[in-house]
Structure 1
Amino acid sequence: MRIVIAGGHGQIALLLERQLADLGHDPVGIVRNPDHVPDVEAAGARALVLDLEHCEASDLAGHLDGADAVVFAAGGGGNSGAARKLTIDRDGAILLADAAEQAGVTRYVMISAMHADEFDEVRAAWPSDDADTFQVYLRAKAEADADLRARDGLDWTIVRPGALTDEAPTGLISVGRRLERGSIPRADVAAIVATAIDEGTAVRTQFETVSGEATISDALVTIRY
């Protein structure tokens, strides 16, 4: 399958590209910076240089022709301000969904954030300037997720991981509509996305995930939204 990944140079995306390539798929990573092309190619993917903040859905749709699935793994980055949380984490995700529908790509996997719908509670519990930015980040994720859930024409999956780590993957996770806070290796998040696409599971489901005791394949066939 040809799988187009927005945010193709992100840490999860690079891991995902390698996993998909190893499974025999054809991953394509969308990057804004041409300097990132070699890293994407080293991960086993083809690179598409395109700025999601400065393109129209129709332009992006042209690049999705023939794709079997899209993945939104983009983000404004930890050092970006609140404005880019909206233009990338929310608007970029919506742009990808619009383009997928125009191109006739029905499979869409979103990498979101744990407890995203509780964004208002963050500001009250964590009174600082950083909380303002994190609140906007969670709101951007929540609004992008809501937009995706409302699309009848897409077979969506929304993955909401806990705190991300660079630890070695375990291949064992917990999933649920809402979980207590926990952590999960980025490589396991990538494996969740790769497995959902490769095995055709977790369609039209939204779930939170942290490290646990179930294999990824088993967890994804049992989750219900």
Structure 2
Amino acid sequence: MRVVIAGGHGKIALLLAELLTERGDKVDSMIRKPEQATDIAATGARAVVLDLEHAALGDVAAAIQGYDAVVFAAGAGPGSSVERKYTVDKGGSVLLATAAEQAGVRRFVQISTMGAGAPPAAGSDEVWTAYIDAKTQAEDDLRARDLDWTILRPGRLLDTPATGLVTLGPPPLPRGAIPRADVAAVLAGILHAPQTAGATLELISGAIPVTSAIENLDNQSVAQGGAAPTD
């Protein structure tokens, strides 16, 4: 499989690129800064310098032309402004999805977050509120497109080692945490799991091996996940 990862220098994206290249997939990782290319090369992927926050649609479509799948793993990151939550977390996803349609790349996997699709908790600060709203709008945009999309909402992200054991299913799951390495493993599996197309899935640590958790997603659960409420 030929895969493009947007936000390629993120922690999950780097782990995902390594998993994909190890199994023989060809991976291009989009990055904003040329100096990040060394880290990309260490995963076995090819670095493509293209900033989704400022790129033209035609340039993005050209960069993904001929690929089998794209993964939106970009985000404004901790400490970023309200404005960048919308220009990156929402705008970047919208731009990449539009480019995928233009380039004929049907498979689109979006990393979102638990909490998207519902109002933030009362008293949340304005940056968190903007983040949840931007992720929700990005999800809604993707669901409206004629793409083979899957939305993955991981819980609170940890930098601990992978456990290989997860709980994966349509929302709502109970709030929980998940190592980034396990998120990457689930993403790698989802890319090769056509039954997840049209699904919104939540992910936390659990007791089921990653491969089994993906295989256990039946048509009913996928349909429920694809119809997740957004209000």
Change (3 A) 1:132 1:194: same
CA distance in 2, matches of 1:138, 1:79: 15
The structure with the greater share of residues assigned to helix is 1
Partner residue of 2:56? 56
Partner residue of 2:70? 70
TM-score (norm 1): 0.94
CA distance in 2, matches of 1:170, 1:199: 21
SS at match of 1:52: coil
Q: Report the residue type matching 1:142 in the other structure.
A: T
Moved more, 211-220 or 158-167: 211-220
Runs of 4 or more above 3 Å deviation: none
**1:78-97 per-position Cα deviation (integer Å, ceiling 9, x unaligned):** 01111000000000000000
**1:70-117 per-position Cα deviation (integer Å, ceiling 9, x unaligned):** 000000010111100000000000000000000000000000000112
Change (3 A) 1:199 1:121: closer
Q: Give 1:168-179 correspondences, 5 Å limit.
A: 168-176=161-169, 177-179=171-173
- Consecutive unaligned residues in structure 1, runs of 5 or more: none
**1:202-221 per-position Cα deviation (integer Å, ceiling 9, x unaligned):** 11100111001112222223
Contact 1:115 1:178 in 2 (8 A): no
- Consecutive unaligned residues in structure 2, runs of 5 or more: 226-231
Partner residue of 1:209? 203
**1:172-196 per-position Cα deviation (integer Å, ceiling 9, x unaligned):** 1112311121000001101111001
Partner residue of 2:157? 164
SS at match of 2:53: helix
CA distance in 2, matches of 1:95, 1:157: 17
Q: Give 1:89-108 correspondences, 5 Å limit.
A: 89-108=89-108
Contact 2:116 2:133 in 1 (8 A): yes
Partner residue of 2:229? none
Change (3 A) 1:79 1:36: same
Partner residue of 1:121? 120
Q: Report the residue type matching 1:213 in the other structure.
A: A
TM-align CA RMSD: 1.1
Contact 1:17 1:27 in 2 (8 A): yes
Change (3 A) 1:211 1:115: same
Q: Give 1:1-225 correspondences, 5 Å limit.
A: 1-118=1-118, 120-122=119-121, 124-126=122-124, 131-151=125-145, 153-176=146-169, 177-221=171-215, 222=217, 223-224=221-222, 225=225
Q: Report the residue type matching 1:157 in the other structure.
A: T
TM-score (norm 2): 0.91
Contact 1:75 1:88 in 2 (8 A): yes
CA distance in 1, matches of 2:116, 2:33: 28
CA distance in 1, matches of 2:47, 2:111: 20
Change (3 A) 1:27 1:203: same
Q: Report the residue type matching 1:192 in the other structure.
A: V
CA distance in 2, matches of 1:192, 1:66: 24
CA distance in 1, matches of 2:41, 2:120: 41
SS at match of 1:67: coil
